């Protein structure tokens, strides 16, 4: 990717990224900051490692923080003929962790980072000491907002998401309860500045498995069936006003992981790290260090 971080965002995102070549031969961008116990943060759609910037800045003095950008997202490569499936994203993250010799770590996941991160941990029997699950789903579910389902419509959905930016851009105000500043909005949208660069955004939406015939259905169902095997402490940290991953998903996770600690942030939406920055940081630091 030849997208540069503008000067106005370098204070927000002051990191020097690294690149890893995936099994398919494509360049995957990731952050690797700090030292000590590995802490892996996995983003969703349409965000990128920028979503975790404040956690990285605050936790890199205590952990080795690793934050990948999935292929098609953030500063990673945008292959135009790649199969952006859940299984392939899991394989990419698995290969990255193997290259870094990581077998024991803590994990933070959000949105599509939920099934990718949890799927990676389960596939590789990662020794997860702590797992923080934020506004996501790692199971098959029929609940989907009509606006997102419409974006899955063949042809017109792709044109809307890639031609009109009608996914990443609306997320900058639909995913928050507290308005983002113009510079933070710019940060979220930076990697998605043209039709070609929005391919990952569109493919992630198209990869939502709403039927057994979908290519990613079996992968997601397997994650759901094996969630109870995830080791270590778990925390469900949830923005209650999320229009997409509503408290319905929070309650399902409580059923699937009854041992998990729970924190419901009544004032926060989907981008809970933006809406409740101080609360989420305090909660995450306390959970990881106790």
Beta bridge partners of 21: 27
Q: Is residue 2 part of a domain?
A: no
Q: Does residue 75 contact residue 3 with C-beta atoms inside 8 Å?
A: yes
**Per-residue model confidence (pLDDT) at position 152:** 80
- pLDDT number for residue 143: 84
Answer yes or no: are the C-beta atoms of 73 and 199 closer than 8 Å.
Answer: no
pLDDT band at 99 (very low <50, low <70, confident <90, very high): very high
Residue 275: is its pLDDT beyond 80?
yes
How many Cβ atoms sit within 10 Å of the Cβ of residue 142?
Answer: 6
pLDDT for res 157:
87
- How far is 263 from 205, CA to CA, in rounded Å? 27
Domain-located, residue 145: yes
Question: Whole domain around residue 145: which residue ranges?
Answer: 7-289
Question: 55: which 2 tokens?
Answer: 């956690």
Q: Return the beta strands (E) in 127-279 as ranges.
A: 127-134, 233-239, 261-265
Q: Please check whether residue 1 lies inside any domain of the structure.
A: no
Q: Is the pLDDT of residue 68 over 80?
A: yes
- Contacts (Cβ under 8 Å, ≥6 apart) of 117: 40, 42, 93, 107, 108, 109
Taking residues 27-52, what's their average pLDDT?
98
Q: Which two tokens stand for residue 262?
A: 């729970």
**Is residue 149's pLDDT more than 80?**
no
Using pLDDT thresholds of 50, 70 and 90, give the confidence band for residue 3: confident
The string of DSSP letters for 142-180 reads ----HHHHHHTSTTHHHIIIIIS-TTHHHHHHHS-SSPP
Residue 106 within a domain: yes
Is 231 part of a structural domain of the chain?
yes
In a domain, 188, yes or no: yes
Q: What is the mean pLDDT of residues 93-121?
A: 98
Give the count of domains, the chain: 1
Asked whether residue 125 is domain-assigned, the answer is yes
pLDDT score recorded for residue 1: 59
Q: Is the confidence at residue 255, as pLDDT, over 90?
A: yes
What is the CATH number for 23? 3.40.50.1820
Flag whether 123 is in a domain: yes
From the CB of residue 101, how many other CB atoms can be counted at a distance below 10 Å? 7
State the pLDDT confidence band at 221, using cuts at 50, 70 and 90.
very high
70 pLDDT tier (thresholds 50, 70, 90): very high
pLDDT at residue 268, rounded to an integer:
98
């Amino acid at each position: 990717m030849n997208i540069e971080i503008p000067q106005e965002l370098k204070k927000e995102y002051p990191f020097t990224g690294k690149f890893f070549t995936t099994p398919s031969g494509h360049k995957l961008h990731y952050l690797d900051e700090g030292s000590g116990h590995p802490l892996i943060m996995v983003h969703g759609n349409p965000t990128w490692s920028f979503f975790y910037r404040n956690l990285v800045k605050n936790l890199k003095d205590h952990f080795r923080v690793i934050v990948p950008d999935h292929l098609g997202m953030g500063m990673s490569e945008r292959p135009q003929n790649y199969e952006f499936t859940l299984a392939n994203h899991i394989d990419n993250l698995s290969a990255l962790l193997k290259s870094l010799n990581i077998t024991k770590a803590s994990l933070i996941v959000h949105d599509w980072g939920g099934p990718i991160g949890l799927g990676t941990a389960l596939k590789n029997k990662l020794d997860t000491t702590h797992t923080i699950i934020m506004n996501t789903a790692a199971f098959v579910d029929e609940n989907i907002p009509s606006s997102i389902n419409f974006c899955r419509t063949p042809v017109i959905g792709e044109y809307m998401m890639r031609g009109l930016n009608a996914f990443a851009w609306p997320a900058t105000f639909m995913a928050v309860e507290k308005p983002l500043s113009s510079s933070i909005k710019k940060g979220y949208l930076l990697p998605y500045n043209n039709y070609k660069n929005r391919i990952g955004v569109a493919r992630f939406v198209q990869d939502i498995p709403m039927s057994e015939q979908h290519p990613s259905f079996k992968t997601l169902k397997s994650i759901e069936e094996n969630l109870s095997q995830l080791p270590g402490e778990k925390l469900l940290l949830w923005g209650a006003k999320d229009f997409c991953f509503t408290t319905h998903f929070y309650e399902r996770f409580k059923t699937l992981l009854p041992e998990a600690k729970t924190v419901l942030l009544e004032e926060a939406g989907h981008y809970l790290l933006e809406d409740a920055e101080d609360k989420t940081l305090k909660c995450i630091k306390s959970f990881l260090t106790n």
